[in-house]
Amino acid sequence: MYNVTLIPGDGIGPEVANATRAVVDATGIQINWEEVNAGEAVYEKVGTLVPDEVYASIEKNKIALKGPITTPIGKGFRSINVMLRKKYDLYSNVRPSRNFKGIDTAFNNVNMTIFRENTEGLYIGEEKVIDDNVTEATKRITREGSLRICKEAFEYAKKHGKKTVAVAHKANILKITDGLFLECAREIAKDYPEIKVKEVIIDNMCMQMVSNPSQFEVVVTMNLYGDILSDLAAGLVGGLGIVPGANIGKDIAIFEAVHGSAPDIAGKNLANPTALILSAVMMLNHLGETSKAKIIEKAVEETLAEGKFRTKDLGGNATTKEYTDALIAKIKAKI
């Protein structure tokens, strides 16, 4: 029995969270879902975006699955996601993007996993006003933070039989900050002589990704660059609706869909739960439940390939429930 914190979020969050829970439960795995919530709807009820019970649940269970959350503009946290990552030192943001048969895109051979440093860089949020015409933001890169995210990327490559790791940087201009990150990547790479290292300047990286994305297997980079590159990678494979995400620290891991809360379609049974379902696949792999994870992943692959049940954002007409039921049927047939 696993104890997992479930944070549905708001907007389409509850719909995709309920769908994901049903899909995971269909495998027969024993999970005690401890549901707590955060976000705009919670703020309107209790006056805080993240109630204490959310922190308590995460700290107790160590594993959480989180739906999309709307951050109110002008009040509360700058970003709930950023806050949780910093609070629990979830330094490794892992976002795999790959093609699925049946979803037409410009490229048919994309399969890359981006490792984004999750707690440093410009996202520390240290800004100040110099005068009426000048503002300033601090970018902080540390040796410890750089070494550990690079280690995660190379370990992943080794475990999954990947031949290359691309290090995205701007050390040609930012010689101190990005220079330190690149130095750390080179240091870690020495322990993995079987893996080829590609050092790619960030602007060139963007160009290469949209011209020949299949050359990239594992990418490791700093916070802001990783945020941009992971959305770019999602665009190559069909959008954020099919891209999962994980935020992993030493003791705690939070798995989440990286797309928004889409309030315009909330409650209409139109939401695509694939991203959160695949995030749950990542969660199961993290827990060591690889066979259950594979069953869900195959069900998603087959359902999307067949094309009978696809949500509107993927070019189909299926409702959230119809798509979820189709996945569950395939899962039960495999067990």
Say if CB 42 and CB 49 are below 8 A apart: yes
Cα-atom radius of gyration of the chain, to the nearest Å?
20
Catalytic residue among 10, 151, 178, 227: 227
Domains of the chain: 1-93+241-335 (3.40.718.10), 106-237 (3.40.718.10)
Per-residue pLDDT of 20-36, as tens digits, reads 999 999 999 999 999 99
Catalytic residue among 175, 203, 250, 251: 203
Per-residue pLDDT of 199-215, as tens digits, reads 999 999 999 999 999 99
Alpha-carbon separation of residue 257 from 137, 140, 264 (angstroms): 28, 27, 17
Say if CB 299 and CB 327 are below 8 A apart: yes
Per-residue pLDDT of 183-203, as tens digits, reads 999 999 999 999 999 999 999
Examine the pLDDT at 77 and tell me if it is beyond 60. no
The reported pTM is: 0.95
C-alpha–C-alpha distance, residues 136 and 130, integer Å: 7
**Mean pLDDT calculated for residue range 74-100:** 86
For residue 90, what pLDDT is reported?
97
C-alpha triplet 23, 24, 25: angle, nearest 5°: 90
Q: Is 170 a catalytic residue?
A: yes
**Mean pLDDT calculated for residue range 116-130:** 95
The H or E element spanning position 304 is helix 290-306
Mean pLDDT of the chain: 95
For helices 320-334 and 290-306, angle between their N-to-C axes, nearest 10 degrees: 130
Catalytic residue among 88, 123, 156, 323: 123
For residue 327, what pLDDT is reported?
98
DSSP 217-250: SEEEE-HHHHHHHHHHHHHHHT-GGG-EEEEE-S
Q: Is 227 a catalytic residue?
A: yes
Q: Is 203 a catalytic residue?
A: yes
For residue 79, what pLDDT is reported?
74
Task: Identify the CA nearest to 271 among candidates 107, 91, 68.
Answer: 68
C-alpha–C-alpha distance, residues 162 and 113, integer Å: 10
Examine the pLDDT at 241 and tell me if it is beyond 90. yes
For residue 73, what pLDDT is reported?
63
Examine the pLDDT at 74 and tell me if it is beyond 90. no
Catalytic residue among 170, 178, 313, 330: 170
Give the pLDDT band (50/70/90) at residue 75.
low
Three-state secondary-structure class, residue 142: coil
Residue 28 is which amino acid?
G
The H or E element spanning position 80 is helix 80-87
